[in-house]
Amino acid sequence: MYLTAEKFGIPLEAFPAHIKELKNRIESLLRDISYWRSEKQAALEKCQTTEKLLEEFQMGRPIFDANQRLKQELKQATNDRDKYKLEPLWQRKGEEMEWSISEPQLEKAKREVGHRNSGYTGEVQRINPGNLKEMVMDLYHRPGDYIDAIIKLMDQYELEHKRKEQ
């Protein structure tokens, strides 16, 4: 007893009181452990689960976390895909609006141009939005082949814009 009292730095005459204090502390800790075990059990019952299920969940937690992350990535990818699905639609609509021709302008051009025979095929050509766009795009992509037409267009364009300014 003397060696143990010396080891703990307690005087020999205070040793029995120290042992009693340690016993009381042990009993208090055992009561706390019992209380928390019952609280844990009550919580498990309330959640309708068992310790074994919780352990299995903990073991599978990295997989669960990865699954949650992948679900988020899938949701983001789906949103991105849907956004890109809609984008071309708006681009097409914008292009359609850019290339739309007012009915009065088209009717005026049809009246003044009339029916022409194609120099290549001898077919009757009528002005319509499709072939008008095709001609304009050919002019745009190959301006060197249409120098005379471009000069006439530039003169006409300048004349029209001077009229509008006045």
Token reading at 54: 């919780």
Is the pLDDT confidence value at 142 over 80?
yes
Phi, psi (5° rounding) for residue 54?
A: -65, -40
DSSP state of 166: -
For range 86-96, the mean pLDDT: 65
Tell me the C-alpha distance between 113 and 135, whole Å: 14
For range 69-83, the mean pLDDT: 88
User: Can you name the residues that pair with 125 across neighbouring β-strands?
Assistant: 116
Dihedral (Cα; 98, 147, 138, 91), 10-degree rounding: -20
pTM above 0.85, yes or no: no
- Cα end-to-end distance, the chain, whole Å: 120
Q: Where are the alpha helices (DSSP H) in 47-146?
A: 51-98, 103-113, 129-141
Tens of pLDDT, residues 103-124: 787 778 777 776 565 555 555 5
Q: Specify whether the backbone of 113 is left (phi greater than 0), alpha (psi in -120 to 50) or beta.
A: alpha
Pairing state of beta strands 116-117 and 124-125?
antiparallel
For the chain, give every domain's residue range: 1-48, 99-165
Which percentage of the chain shows pLDDT scores above 90?
A: 25
Which percentage of the chain shows pLDDT scores above 70?
A: 82
